[in-house]
Structure 1
């Protein structure tokens, strides 16, 4: 093997439990192990097991796949999980400590959570400082109804506008917002705490979470940029596999995403992006 290949940075790639929607969490650990993922990102949902540290640790130990990230239940459909908004992030931070993960992924508040939204930026910083846990706020997007954009997140859907200590970058969300992810990642690099590896069609209204390389975002170029700059975070594969009719089809989608990460997370030009992503 050439020395330059030995010296290449190797990405740490996690499988998000959201990729196996409605499956029991142990299935995610089993699939991650079988396909060669480095770890699992746990999305906390209404499924009881996603909330139970000891059961997650049992699955992690059984399949010898660690947990690298905890996605707090701050999604629209998890509003009833773990009660109050700050409780969600506090409990996610506690779970990170208990399972030995690296980061909490959190969405910004919804527009109707006005009090929570006003204190969010400072509150996240304070909680991270108190716990020592990396809390990475995820980029979201404007909602579009009847051709009009609606601001549905407080203080905003774009975390670049604020001094969060850490940010999670999601390519599918960037596609809806029509944000150039390579440009954003260059700007965020010193505080980029986590990446959701996926894709989407720019300017759409649906959060597609496509296999990376099947949309219009500069995903390959962004991964090369991160490798060139020795980024040490986790690439969390978070794709929508609900179109798969069989487990084999689903696993093929996940394997393709993993291979994409391994292929493109390599040193390359750190300058302007080349237009070699799918359109």
Structure 2
């Protein structure tokens, strides 16, 4: 389970949910919350809840541009070293932003060098463009427009060379099924292009909105079942990570139920162990305050609209991620 899935609760809450619901482990989203950045603090959570960190998501979101400094090269290397220290097998990273020219020019080589010197896999994730739909009308209307025209319409990629990582021929990929929905991509075709190099799955769903939805798998239009069946048939031995948006949950019990539904989907369709009959509550019914909640990938619906302003504010082509 991605720790981003419990937003607006914090990293410790994610470990608690994972332990109570029976997840195998967590993918640690490194972002502005101090605990997520602190190796010793994360190790303490692993010991407290008995839940291992199986993957680390590098701080490459726009909202985490100042986490661990402004140098994206150093941040990616630090993410790999953190994964090594935690015994995690994977680091998830996004393609570079277009204005990070030096980083983008050396990105493929850096990823390859990090993998050659470590047991950690660096799996580059598919992303999505900033779509014109996001600036007009209701969010649901963007879904209907996509259906009518049979595609996502006009969009601008903030990523180099594109939001499709297979354009850069990496050794390992992360397939995100919410991002394929937002990009209007054929998820099965992308999985086929990734082939045996698809080693990390972000299991979520989407309807094709102009923003990143991260729905519970099975609640959108993406071929989640078909992708899982494809991976099982191929003998997939990588990591499958539930990365859903639970921001609308009114209570911790409701959030636990959503996380349980996603886990059930994964267990059934990836042929994993038996699902617990009753989801744990994940705490009391009232939401505890959290001064530094972990990032959610769904925040990129806001980020994508801030790309140009962030770029202007940085004043540096090679600066922030």
**Taking structure 2 as the reference length, what is the TM-score of the superposition?**
0.76
For residues 40-66 of structure 1, give each alpha carbon's deviation from its aligned partner in whole angstroms, at most 9, with x where no partner exists: 110001111101112111111111111
Q: Please, what is the CA RMSD of the aligned residues?
A: 1.4
Shift of 1:266: 3.9
For residues 24-45 of structure 1, give each alpha carbon's deviation from its aligned partner in whole angstroms, at most 9, with x where no partner exists: 3221111101101000110001
**CA distance in structure 2 between the partners assigned to 1:73 and 1:218 by the alignment:** 28
* Match 2:32 to one of 22, 41, 46: 46
**CA distance in structure 1 between the partners assigned to 2:229 and 2:29 by the alignment:** 27
Give the secondary-structure state (helix, strand or coil) at the position aligned to 2:170: coil
Structure 2 residue 142 is matched with structure 1 residue 156: no
Query: Match for residue 112 of structure 1?
Result: 99
**Contact 2:181–2:222 (Cα < 8 Å) also in 1:** yes
**Contact 1:228–1:266 (Cα < 8 Å) also in 2:** no
Structure 2 residue 117 is matched with structure 1 residue 133: no
Runs of 4+ more than 3 Å apart = none
Query: Match for residue 23 of structure 1?
Result: 9
Shift of 1:189: 2.7
* Match 2:173 to one of 167, 173, 191: 167
Structure 2 residue 214 is matched with structure 1 residue 214: no
Deviates more, 1:211-220 or 1:109-118: 109-118
Higher relative contact order by CA 8 Å / sep ≥ 6: 1 or 2? 2
Give the secondary-structure state (helix, strand or coil) at the position aligned to 2:54: strand
Query: Match for residue 244 of structure 2?
Result: 239
**Contact 1:40–1:69 (Cα < 8 Å) also in 2:** yes
**Contact 2:88–2:120 (Cα < 8 Å) also in 1:** no
Q: Structure 1: which 5+ residue stretches go unaligned?
A: 1-14, 268-279
Give the secondary-structure state (helix, strand or coil) at the position aligned to 1:131: coil
**CA distance in structure 1 between the partners assigned to 2:75 and 2:220 by the alignment:** 32
**Contact 2:31–2:67 (Cα < 8 Å) also in 1:** yes
